């Protein structure tokens, strides 16, 4: 009930403030606009993200509770969540996804059990205030500016990225157990680039925070996920996996991430840690599989527990040992990190065929030669 009251409060606040859609920022913040347009934040609504749309259709035909984080700038959030109104492809507030002005009007995060809530600026002014982290920033014709600590300590991310319970009160994703005041989401996901943040660069700034928010959809970022090390001694391969990210390896239940390890002799594979399915080697696989009340494998919306929960926390290390037949001098042991945006089993179930979504993303590789 409390959450519902808060929701109404927020909806009212959104209604009062004038909405500037993301395209209006392009006039001055050209580079940031282009970065943002390619980001999953811009593509977060069911109009632009096929995976999201299909999972949504699977969980509910008419209710769009997901709008809270995937289409947060919409005016009719409450009605959409309750299923009284349907998404509209002609509404900028909806197709904008996690929009510039939505993100930049968050003033405070309200922590609550089912999911956190973003508190927005409540000014009913025609000229909205954009919050950020710049020193000596000045207001423009389009908006005022104000600095706010949460754009520095990454707390602004936690309104949507913290955790989420399904209707059975089961937490289907969680980053919050890993988050603390030292978590630098912004440092890793908004790396600096040279130049000013707006066209005229009136303040002659030398760098700005980029807005592509790269993650699981980026080959470059996948390469930074983990560090792999290998050792071979007494017919045993020892693989060390170190999670280099500021969160668990699995933050979202759709993903599949694993290490493939092979031994090559004269270019031929003579041993591998699994034959067909990475889960054969559970210890080198990172995956979350849910079960429903009857212990059957389930999608997130009907989950009440875990069937498999193979994860590794931020900055933690894990060692996997393999007994192998005696290796010869010159044999190469090679480990490769592989990531799937969507577990191929789920992709099949949801009939997802977009190439970039179902392909394996190849991460870091490590190899040693037996001496
Ligand atoms: C509390 C905020 C919140 C709510 C509510 C929410 N999501 Fe999400 N969703 C996120 C965040 C944050 C991510 C990115 C997580 C990640 O990549 O680890 C995400 C990612 C996803 C993805 C992965 C998309 C991709 O590109 O592969 C799917 C699918 C998804 N959500 C489905 C849903 C559905 C369906 C609902 C409603 C039933 C929903 N979400 C409700 C916050 C939320
Ligand atoms: C008419 C030009 C113009 C437009 C249009 C514009 N801005 Fe700005 N914005 C500026 C200027 C100038 C600054 C100050 C830059 C500086 O200090 O380096 C600024 C600063 C900002 C800041 C930094 C605030 C801080 O204190 O850290 C944010 C955030 C921002 N704008 C968001 C937006 C968003 C979102 C939009 C679109 C809804 C937008 N702006 C549209 C000119 C504009
Ligand atoms: C208003 C809600 C909201 C806020 C605030 C938010 N995000 Fe997101 N974010 C999402 C959603 C929803 C997705 C998933 C979109 C999808 O895949 O459909 C996402 C996806 C991402 C991704 C994954 C990109 C990929 O490749 O899949 C990263 C990284 C990310 N966000 C980082 C951040 C960081 C860092 C912050 C804080 C500066 C932040 N987000 C603030 C809602 C939000
Ligand atoms: C030390 C660097 C680092 C920090 C700190 C960090 N991340 Fe990441 N994050 C990464 C890398 C690298 C990836 C891409 C690899 C992957 O997804 O497996 C990633 C992936 C993600 C994804 C997509 C994951 C998926 O599987 O869908 C989201 C969402 C995300 N980060 C959000 C956050 C948030 C929110 C914070 C702050 C609590 C944060 N990150 C802190 C490095 C970092
Ligand atoms: C997911 C939330 C989110 C979205 C969406 C987002 N921003 Fe930001 N933006 C931030 C955060 C956090 C910072 C502070 C980064 C820092 O200081 O390192 C920031 C910084 C900025 C700055 C100051 C950059 C600098 O370092 O000089 C400007 C200007 C800005 N944003 C404009 C925009 C515009 C325009 C859009 C859309 C095209 C946009 N933002 C979309 C979260 C967001």
Residue 160 is given by DSSP the state: H
219-369 CATH fold: Immunoglobulin-like (2.60.40)
Q: Is any ligand 4 atom within 6 A of the Cβ of residue 364?
A: no
Nearest C-alpha to atom 36 of ligand 5 is from which residue? 100
Query: Residue 350 CA to chain centroid, in angstroms?
Result: 20
Tell how far the Cα of 38 is from the centroid of ligand 1, in angstroms.
Answer: 17
Q: Which residues of 286-308 are buried (b: 16+ CB within 10 A; e: fewer)?
A: bbbbbbbeeeeebbbbbbeeeee
What is the reported pLDDT for 7? 52
Distances (CA, A) of 215 to 189, 273, 368: 8, 27, 29
Q: Which atom of ligand 1 is nearest to the CA of 56?
A: 35
pLDDT, residue 121, reads 85
CA distances from 23 to 87, 88, 121, 277 (A): 20, 18, 21, 44
Over residues 166-173, mean pLDDT: 93
Question: How do 171-174 and 163-165 pair as beta strands?
Answer: antiparallel
Ligand 2 in reach of 25 Cβ (< 6 A): yes
Q: What phi, psi does 14 have (nearest 5°)?
A: -60, -40
The per-residue pLDDT for 124 is 67
Express each pLDDT in 182-237 by its tens digit. 899 999 999 999 999 999 999 999 999 999 999 999 999 999 999 999 999 999 99
Going from the Cα of 358 to the center of ligand 4, the distance in angstroms, rounded, reads 20
Residue owning the nearest CA to atom 33 of ligand 5: 100
Could you tell me the pTM of the whole model?
0.96
Where do the structural domains in the chain lie, given as residue ranges?
Answer: 2-42+98-209, 219-369
Kindly give, in sequence order, each residue whose CB lies less than 8 Å from that of residue 204, ignoring residues fewer than 6 positions away.
196
Q: Which pLDDT value is given to residue 180?
A: 82
Residues 153, 108: contact at Cβ < 8 Å?
no
Q: What is the pLDDT of residues 116-146, one digit of tens each?
A: 999 998 766 778 999 999 999 989 889 999 9
Residue ID of nearest Cα to ligand 3 atom 10: 41
Please check the confidence at residue 279 and state whether its pLDDT lies above 70: yes
In this structure, what token pair is assigned to residue 193?
């680039």
pLDDT band at residue 40, thresholds of 50, 70 and 90? very high
For tokens 């347009």, what's the residue?
37
Q: Residue 246 C-alpha to ligand 4 middle, in angstroms?
A: 6
| CB of 259 sitting under 6 A from ligand 4 | no
Residue 368 structure tokens: 């040693």
Residue with tokens 């519902």: 4
State how far Cα 325 lies from the chain centre. Answer: 40
DSSP element (H, E) containing 252: none
């Amino acid at each position: 009930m409390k959450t519902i009251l808060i929701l109404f409060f927020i909806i009212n606040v959104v209604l009062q403030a004038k909405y500037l859609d993301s395209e209006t920022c392009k006039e001055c913040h050209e580079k940031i606009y282009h970065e943002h347009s390619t980001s999953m934040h811009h593509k977060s609504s069911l109009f632009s993200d096929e995976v999201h749309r299909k999972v949504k259709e699977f969980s509910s035909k008419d209710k769009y509770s997901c709008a809270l984080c995937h289409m947060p700038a919409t005016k009719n959030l409450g009605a959409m969540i309750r299923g009284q109104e349907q998404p509209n492809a002609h509404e900028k507030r909806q197709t904008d996804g996690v929009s510039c002005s939505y993100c930049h009007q968050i003033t405070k995060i309200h922590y609550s059990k089912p999911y956190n809530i973003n508190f927005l600026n409540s000014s009913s002014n025609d000229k909205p205030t954009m919050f950020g982290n710049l020193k000596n920033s000045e207001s423009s014709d389009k908006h005022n500016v104000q600095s706010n600590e949460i754009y520095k300590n990454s707390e602004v991310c936690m309104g949507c990225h913290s955790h989420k319970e399904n209707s059975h009160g089961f937490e289907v994703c969680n980053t919050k157990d890993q988050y603390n005041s030292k978590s630098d989401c912004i440092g890793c996901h908004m790396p600096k680039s040279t130049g000013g943040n707006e066209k005229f660069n009136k303040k002659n700034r030398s760098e700005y925070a980029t807005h592509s928010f790269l993650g699981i959809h980026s080959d470059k970022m996948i390469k930074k996920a983990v560090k792999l090390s290998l050792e071979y001694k007494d017919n045993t391969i020892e693989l060390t996996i170190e999670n280099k990210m500021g969160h668990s390896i699995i933050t979202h239940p759709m993903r599949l991430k694993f290490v493939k390890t092979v031994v090559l002799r004269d270019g031929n594979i003579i041993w591998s840690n699994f034959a067909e399915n990475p889960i054969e080697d559970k210890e080198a696989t990172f995956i979350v599989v849910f079960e429903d009340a009857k212990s059957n494998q389930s999608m997130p919306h009907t989950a009440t527990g875990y069937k498999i929960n193979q994860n590794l926390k931020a900055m933690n290390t894990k060692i996997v040992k393999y007994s192998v037949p005696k290796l010869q001098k010159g044999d190469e042991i090679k480990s490769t990190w592989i990531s799937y945006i969507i577990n191929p089993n789920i992709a099949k179930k949801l009939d997802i065929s977009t190439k970039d979504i179902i392909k394996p993303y190849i991460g870091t590789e490590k190899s040693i030669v037996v001496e």
